[in-house]
Amino acid sequence: MPKNIEYYDVVVIGGGPAGMTAAIYCGRARLKTILLEKNLLGGLATYTNEIENYPGFPEGSTGNDLMKLFERQVKKFGVKIKYADVTGVELEGETKVVKTFRTDYHAKVVIIATGGKPRLTGAKNEEKFLFGKGISFCATCDAVYYTGKDVLVVGSGDAAIEESIFLSRFANKIYISVIHDVGIMDANKVAQEAALKNEKLHFIWNTMVDEFVGEDKLETVILRNVKTNEKIPVKVDGCFLFIGYVPNTDIFKGILNMTERGYLITNEKMETNIPGVFACGDVREKILRQVATSVGDGAIAGFMAEKYIAETETFEKEFKGVKGPQLVFCYDPTDALSREKMTIIEEYGNHHPEIKINKIDVYKGKGLAQRLSIKGEPCLVLLFDGEIKEVVPLVEITRNSLEEKVRTIMHN
Q: Which residue type is seen at 262?
A: G
DSSP result, 245-284: EEES-GGGTTTS-B-TTSPBP--TT-B-SSTTEEE-GGGB
- Does residue 280 carry a catalytic annotation? no
Rounded distance between C-alpha atoms, residue 121 and residue 36, angstroms: 29
Nearest to 45 by CA among 222, 282, 251: 282
**Of residues 26, 85, 142, 181, which has the active-site annotation?**
142
Rounded distance between C-alpha atoms, residue 246 and residue 196, angstroms: 29
Nearest to 385 by CA among 330, 317, 326, 345: 326
Nearest to 236 by CA among 133, 165, 162: 133
- Does residue 330 carry a catalytic annotation? no
**Of residues 138, 239, 280, 330, which has the active-site annotation?**
138
Rounded distance between C-alpha atoms, residue 125 and residue 59, angstroms: 34
Nearest to 266 by CA among 28, 22, 74: 22
- Does residue 181 carry a catalytic annotation? no
**Of residues 26, 141, 239, 280, which has the active-site annotation?**
141
Residue 229 Rama label (left phi>0; alpha psi -120 to 50; beta): left
63 contact partners, CB below 8 Å, separation of at least 6: 42, 45, 46, 47, 48, 49, 50, 51, 141, 291
Q: Which residues are catalytic?
A: 138, 141-142
